[in-house]
Structure 1
Amino acid sequence: MKTRLPFVLHALQILLFVCLSREYTSISDDALKLIPRPREDFDIKNGKLLSPILRPRVPGSEGSTAVLNHFVDFFHNDLPQWKVSFQNSTSKTPVTGNKEIPFVNLIATRDPPWANPGEVGYLTLVAHYDSKMTPEGFIGATDSAAPCAMLMHTARALDGALTKKWAAMDQAGIKQEDYDLGLEEHKGIQILLLDGEEAFDQWTKKDSIYGSKSLAADMEATFHPALSTYYNAISSIHLFVLLDLLGEGTPTPKMPSYFKTTHWAYQNMATLEDRLRAQSLFSSSPNHPSKRSASSGGPTGTNEQQAKSTEPKWFFDIDKSNDRWLGGLIEDDHLPFMARGVDILHLIPNPFPTVWHKETDDGEHLDMDTLGDWTVLVTAFAAEWMDLEGYMDKKATNKRAMNDKQKAKIISKTEL
């Protein structure tokens, strides 16, 4: 019996950690407040993340290569623990004759420690980085330079918390064999920056989503070792969250729930929106202190309550009860993945922004408050998915050292 005691204690320790970490839980209001906004990184002239993307970037062009290099440099310099890979393809288009146009998809992943190939299930965050050929000089700020910058910020905002969580798992004695026994599942984050979404001439099934079609087929054909949890790369995607046409401030974006199978995820996003608005963390809100002080001289008390405007709601379909699901009506990069059984959460407004496919879809027509709100919302959703409560950094210090609350959380998970 004595020889088995260490094993029993280890098993109980693992079970305790698993019970506290497997459940999908909301992050606290305090954690929501710790999510950093992009601020100067989204400056359209000099911002580190956004400004390099605000240029024409037609597939195969110099601009496309420059933007791809921007992504690579970001992950290499800012997030070295992320694995970056590429998936390449070529295709003829209706306007280039027999010339083969190259398409390059970037795949960035952050896996937990001890994870073997085929054992990680992903929250997959997606945007396309190419722009249209016409009109000449088209920037495509909402479509989709801004969503790409949002995902870069999200990756950076959560990187330290992921490191801390997995360090706590290491301290708790979580080892690969514990996963092999089914006591815990690997969860990771995957970011796809896709090429060739736009049509070269007019949108058809053949002239569109070049990169997405190639990547989905390649992931389906990429098999993991025998007895892996996920038999191929595409089956490891737990949820495919596609961001498109985001960042215009007016009119207020209306986000339908497109797919019945992922309405639960839509509801989680809607709940986060409500909570962020309630805490005055949505800068685009007419009730945000910065807006109200400017328009009404900063009323207080009863007058302030009377002066509040009706709070907008982006995710208006939270209580949807009918069967009018519009997922098949909007064609986008999700289609090849959906055809292979992947669950899709499509974050695209309906109606589309007023600047859609116009010369005015440029940096000057982005609304920085709206763009920042989207970034915080997506980051909060990813933080909940990855169960990062207690591991978020204080934005005032932005240090990687754990505070007392985080230490207490780890102790509660590791001590019997």
Structure 2
Amino acid sequence: MSFAIILGIFMCTTSAWGQWRTNQKTHQLSLLPESSTLRLCRDFTNQTRFKEILAPIMVPRIVDTPQHRQVGDYLQSFLHNLGFATEWDAFTDTTPFGTRNFRNLIATFDEAAPRRLVLACHYDSKIIPGQVMIAATDSAVPCAMMLDIAQTLAPYMYKRVAQQVGLQLIFFDGEEAFRDWTATDSLYGSRHLAQKWEQKWFPSSSSLNNFELSKEIDRIDVLMLLDLLGAANPSIGNTIGMGATELFSQLADVELNLRATGCLNAIRRNVFNKQLSYNQVEDDHIPFLKRGKINVINFYVNISSGVPILHLITVPFPSVWHRSSDNANALHYPTIDHMTAVIRVFVAKYLGIAPA
């Protein structure tokens, strides 16, 4: 094959890839009727249900232990029963304590959809020698928030406006360091999955006259990562370089609009603020932010645009961070209800879900 043909194919691929990313980054949220918004915010909020969802996760979840596997199986069963296609990304890796078995859980509603809105968190817990670590905010509550949102929205997914966008939930394993946080002792699950998806290809067009291939990682419209949530008085801001500033602003607008409707009145302070920060927190989004790129210097093409990220983490961290006191006593349910409602409405608007 000649250089000219190769270059022609490459340029078509990069052009399509660039358009793909443009479509993702400029995705318009649906305008919902006030009746649907109130139902999503007010009627779908049920603290008793949330506590029932959360309870099986509120145990120590140290990687490759029986309780850890039990929690993973609970997450998988819960989502399978809602109609999500579930799969395990299982692998082994070397840790300071020897080889360990890891399992990322991936749950997808509508696998055929070419694009995905991804909600993610980690489900393992920190090792604190000699102490029992429940890790309620880090990240049992984020896991439960994702399950709650999936349960309330799944019945309406078939009628969503954005049929080209599926909903995907990822529960990363091995986010916590076994000993001290380093490039190799942390983010085990997200590092593995980001690398795997960057090397996996799928046909982004089935047209006989317009056959295109894209990387699996590039199916992600935006990755919304939840972490350190559940305590009172959270403050979540946006960070420079995440590639989703407009979407974060829309998320903050959702909170303001919901408060204006009167369905958010449990806490006084807004959680989400639009002010940009330069203080990036290392978390499971980093491997995805660094990947999903095209960098080909030889052909004088240098397109660099990682997976867009919405990092929903409170800064400063909760006072119970990495302490045994990160348990049920650290949780503030009015705040949890507030955040879950905002995220639920944002997801519904992104997908075009309007419950009657």
Question: TM-score higher than 0.5 here?
Answer: yes
Shift in Å at residue 51 of structure 1?
0.3
Residue in 2 aligned with 1:159?
A: 154
- Identify unmatched segments of 5+ residues in structure 2: 1-26, 207-211, 292-305
Deviations 1:244-303 (A, max 9, x none): 001101xx11111113521111111111111122223225324xxxxxxxxxxxxxxxxx
Trace 1:88-127 onto structure 2 (pairs within 5 A): 88-94=90-96, 96=97, 99-111=98-110, 115=112, 120-127=114-121
Tell me the distance in 1 between the aligned counterparts of 2:105 and 2:125: 16
Residues 200 and 207, structure 1, Cα contact 8 Å, conserved in 2: yes
Aligned with residue 256 of structure 2, among 269, 274, 277: 274
Residues 88 and 102, structure 1, Cα contact 8 Å, conserved in 2: yes
Residue in 2 aligned with 1:144?
A: 139
TM-score (norm 1): 0.70
Tell me the distance in 2 between the aligned counterparts of 1:284 and 1:230: 48
- Identify unmatched segments of 5+ residues in structure 1: 1-21, 167-183, 287-311, 394-416
Question: Quick one: which amino acid aligns to residue 72 of structure 2?
Answer: L
Shift in Å at residue 225 of structure 1?
3.5
Shift in Å at residue 362 of structure 1?
0.6
Distance 1:230 1:366, change over 3 A: farther
Q: Please say if 1:188 is aligned against 2:170.
A: no
Question: Quick one: which amino acid aligns to residue 32 of structure 1?
Answer: T
Question: Quick one: which amino acid aligns to residue 223 of structure 2?
Answer: F
Q: Alignment length, in residue pairs?
A: 306
Trace 1:10-409 onto structure 2 (pairs within 5 A): 24-35=29-40, 36-43=44-51, 47=52, 49-77=53-81, 79=82, 81-94=83-96, 96=97, 99-111=98-110, 115=112, 120-135=114-129, 136-165=131-160, 186-225=164-203, 227=205, 231-249=214-232, 252-260=233-241, 261-286=243-268, 312-317=269-274, 320=276, 324-326=277-279, 329-340=280-291, 341-389=306-354, 392-393=355-356
Tell me the distance in 1 between the aligned counterparts of 2:71 and 2:349: 30
Residues 130 and 198, structure 1, Cα contact 8 Å, conserved in 2: yes
Local SS of the residue matching 1:317: strand
Q: What is the identity percentage for the equivalent residue pairs of Structure 1 and Structure 2? A: 34
Residues 160 and 351, structure 2, Cα contact 8 Å, conserved in 1: no
Tell me the distance in 2 between the aligned counterparts of 1:131 and 1:369: 24
Deviations 1:116-135 (A, max 9, x none): xxx51011000000001115
Distance 1:211 1:369, change over 3 A: same
Shift in Å at residue 76 of structure 1?
2.7
Higher Cα Rg: structure 1 or 2? 1
Tell me the distance in 1 between the aligned counterparts of 2:237 and 2:213: 31
Tell me the distance in 1 between the aligned counterparts of 2:170 and 2:57: 16
Shift in Å at residue 147 of structure 1?
0.3
Question: Quick one: which amino acid aligns to residue 361 of structure 1?
Answer: D
Question: Which structure has greater strand proportion?
Answer: 2
Q: Which runs of 4+ in 1 moved over 3 A?
A: 225-230
Tell me the distance in 2 between the aligned counterparts of 1:157 and 1:121: 21
Shift in Å at residue 314 of structure 1?
1.7
Tell me the distance in 2 between the aligned counterparts of 1:64 and 1:209: 16
Question: Quick one: which amino acid aligns to residue 368 of structure 1?
Answer: Y
Deviations 1:93-136 (A, max 9, x none): 11x1xx31011000001117xx3xxx510110000000011152
Tell me the distance in 2 between the aligned counterparts of 1:270 and 1:165: 22
TM-score (norm 2): 0.81
Tell me the distance in 2 between the aligned counterparts of 1:274 and 1:24: 15
